Structure 1
Amino acid sequence: MPWPGAGAMGFADPARDLFGSFLWFDMIAGAARPRDLVPAMLTQDGASLPLWCRSRAGALVPVAGLNSPYTLVFRPGGHDPSAVARHLMGQVRGVVRLDALDPDDPAIAALERAAAAHGLAVSRFDHFSNWFMPVDGDFERWLSGRPGALRNTIRRRMRAAGTLRFRCFGFGAASPGDGPEPEPVDLDQAVAQFDAVYDRSWKPAEPFAGINARIMRGLAGAGLLRAGILADDDGPIAAQYWAISGGRAYLLKLAHVEGVVARSPGTVLTALMIRSILAADTVDHLDFGRGDDRYKRDWVSRHRTMAGLLLINPRSAAGLAMLARERLGALRRARRRRGQTTGVPS
């Protein structure tokens, strides 16, 4: 079914599960579409699976799950794994890639079993690192458990913040503590100031123009956006935004202006955001999103590797070619492991 008619049935409430919600999929479909692919919805026999597809001879051919570099967890809405696998068997011309999967989600293992039972070959792979940790709502208790170097930097820099201003969107009453207190801004200001910092940061341009503004506005409309800007007398120097959903605070994007790193603006702003989130929201986890960046393990203590699946149709030429590559890769990895165990080069 083409995306414009997909509807929101069977998806999660974004306040409970942002990445399983129609809000999230619709934002990605509208603002992060890969070239030559179109969004579509597989809906049949209880199945509900958002997909990126290619249009060939008037038909939509599934290529991948409908996610993006901004997706932290791919959770299709209300799907029956057996129905998904059965319908995919008739749709997959070669390979469908599903990634950003929670390896501990029982629905993923059920989908693997169902796909195999319906004739699809399945290959699981590691996708990206995710750092997170449980919290109890107390900023000082969270801070006391962080490494000494980070803890000392936060306390020293927040006490010395002086002329810095903490501007924010999405919070209620100001939270107590060291450092600048929140100055509320409206959504347009938050978006404009985030973009201004990002444009002057070390980060490369986003692959999808306007994506941060689109996500920020979509989250704000659902009451899930928490955005922070740290500014000095010359203007914004650090910016980040979070999403609050299902008891989890997700850090989605952050940046700071080049040339001010000696003042640790990113560290100060992250600490101020965590302090404010813990004071204003009921959250039981902090989640630092995609990537194994060294700094993340100082802020949060737990790690997992998100998974991906290749669903391969062995009856197609493309599927057979993929299976051959997968098996060759497995043989090479096995030889390397044997060489590491015996000390004999493989």
Structure 2
Amino acid sequence: MKNLSVHNGFDEFIQSNPDAVTARDDADFFLTLIWFNNLAKTASPEHHHERIYSVKKSTNGSSSYTICPMWANYSTMFGWPVRHLCSMTNFYTSLFRPFAAGESREVIPDIPDLIAAMTATTSDWDTIHFHPMDTSDPCFETIQSALDHAGIAIQTYFCFGNWYLNVNDRSFDDYFIALPSKLKNTIARKTKQLQKQHRLTLKIIQSEDELSAALNVYEQVYQASWKTAEGFPEFISGLVTSCARQGWLRLGIAYIDEQAVAAQIWIVHHRKASIYKLAYDKHYAQFSIGSILTAHVMQHVIDIDQVDEVDYLTGDDPYKKDWMSDRRERWGIMAFNLRTIVGVIAAIKHLGGRFAQSKIKRIRQIVQSGN
């Protein structure tokens, strides 16, 4: 039996479905209730409101869910009010799709129901936006098909490259041997130099008991780095705390003579390690301390956690190619409601003149009807 619902936030969703909290989570960390709940509570853009679309499936007394967290946002375009529905994502996000909670991992059959709920009322939304998505995931094509079936115009676009490592059952030593010679030699030479002239200490924090002090150290390193301040100051602390509670956190810290000089946030979930945040004190750049720490945490996730994949997440930064084995892409889907004048105007703006010519008759009908 299926039950489709829409809730105005995770608190409301969880109150109605308390078993979803303890249900088996999805394969990817960025597709879990823990990720989305922290994002919604600590990094919600101004004037964005939660809309949680879900399909509940009950079989033999147990429930499974397909959940699609979205944000509703209202703006203006050329003086017209615009109603946006967008995936619950921002610059902290590396992957999005409807996700599973429960024993059933099947989300594809539920996507048409979710899209139908989003497009059921013609006047609700002018645009619908999903990003960033894996084009090789069947969800990408299924969402496009469901939107097309609903009479929604679609544009797909490139978001960013994503470098990752297939471990292929190798040990860290086997992996390290295959790295570029320049990177291997730099790590070996700089490590030897530090151990000879200074006291080098490398730690990996995993438990919540150690987290408070370690988070303060991370913040100190981050502030001494080249990076700009966080857009949402509470997001990182919420992320690492929730991950530590689940046993997913690997917070690496490097010290030189008891001074913290580099820190990295890695997340290990379902045999996949995600390299989430990297920072080092810019005054210690000559020691290549970031690379030394990366190698240390990499050894841990390969040999101790025995992950199948290491993911460098967002972007085509040149250094990522040295550490990773493969590249894939993340794309977005922008959808335009052709039953509203603002939706048609947005479609023309994004899809161009040929599309506009094909829709002139439809625009006139909308204007005349006052829709």
1:86 aligns to what? 116
- Consecutive unaligned residues in structure 2, runs of 5 or more: 1-6, 58-65, 76-82, 101-106, 356-371
Mark the CA change 1:329 to 1:23 in structure 2 (over 3 Å): closer, same or farther: farther
**Residues 171-215 of structure 1: per-residue CA shift (max 9 Å, x gap):** 8xxxxxxxxxxxx98111221111110011100011111221111
Provide closer, same or farther for how the CA distance between residues 299 and 99 of structure 1 changes in structure 2, counting only shifts above 3 A.
same
Question: What SS does the aligned partner of 1:297 have?
Answer: helix
Q: CA deviation at 1:17?
A: 2.6
Q: Which runs of 5+ in 1 are unaligned?
A: 172-183, 332-346
| 1:2 and 2:8 matched | yes
CA distance in 1 between partners of 2:329 and 2:289 (Å): 29
Counterpart for residue 319 of structure 1: 343
Q: CA deviation at 1:137?
A: 4.3
Q: Hey, what's the Cα distance between the residues in 2 that align with 1:145 and 1:330?
A: 51
Does the CA-based 8 Å contact 2:155-2:351 persist in structure 1? no
User: RMSD of the alignment, in Å?
Assistant: 2.4
Q: Which residue matches 2:366? A: none
Quick check: 1:267 aligned with 2:320?
no
Corresponding residue of 2:30: 19
2:205 maps to 169
- Which of residues 276, 281, 291 is equivalent to 1:252? 276
Q: CA deviation at 1:153?
A: 1.0
State, as a whole percentage, how many aligned pairs show the same letter: 26
In 2: Cα distance, 1:313 partner to 1:10 partner: 32
User: For the residues of structure 1 that align with 2:258 and 2:308, how far apart are their CA atoms?
Assistant: 36
SS at match of 2:119: helix
Superposed, which structure 2 residues align to 1:85-104 within 5 Å?
A: 85-90=115-120, 92-104=124-136
Match of residue 233 from structure 2:
209
TM-score (norm 2): 0.79
Say yes or no: does 1:42 pair with 2:53.
Answer: yes
- 1:144 aligns with 177
- Equivalent position of 2:364 in the other structure: none
In 2, the alpha carbon distance for the partners of 1:166 and 1:18 equals: 25
**The one of 122, 139, 144 aligned to 1:112:** 144
Shift of 1:282: 2.2
- Please point out which of 71, 96, 106 is paired with 1:74: 96
Residue 157 of structure 2: aligned partner? 125
Distance 1:15 1:125, change over 3 A: closer
Instruction: Identify the match of residue 156 of structure 1 among 189, 192, 204.
Output: 189
Is residue 44–residue 87 contact of structure 1 (8 Å, CA) maintained in 2?
no
Which residue identity is paired with 2:12? G
Cα shift at 1:54? 3.1
Shift of 1:327: 2.1
What amino acid does structure 2 have at the position aligned with 1:71?
A: T
2:44 to 12, 24, 33: 33
Three-state SS of the structure 2 residue aligned to 1:295 is helix
Distance 2:95 2:69 in 1: 13
Please give the per-residue CA displacement for 1:249-301, whole angstroms capped at 9, x wherever unaligned.
Answer: 10000100111110111011001110111121020111111011111011112
The one-letter amino acid of 1:121's match is A
Q: Report if the CA contact (8 A) 1:13-1:21 is conserved.
A: no
Asked if residue 297 in structure 1 is aligned to residue 321 in structure 2, the reply is yes
- Paired position in structure 2 for 1:337: none
TM-score (norm 1): 0.85
1:53 maps to 72
CA distance, structure 2, for counterparts of residue 260 and residue 112 of structure 1: 48
Measured after TM superposition, the shift of residue 39 of structure 1 is 1.8
- CA offsets, 1:123-182, max 9 Å, x none? 1111111100201241111111111101111222233331111122128xxxxxxxxxxx
Kept in 1, the 8 Å contact 2:252–2:263? The answer is: yes
- Report deviation, 1:302: 0.9
**Number of paired residues?**
315
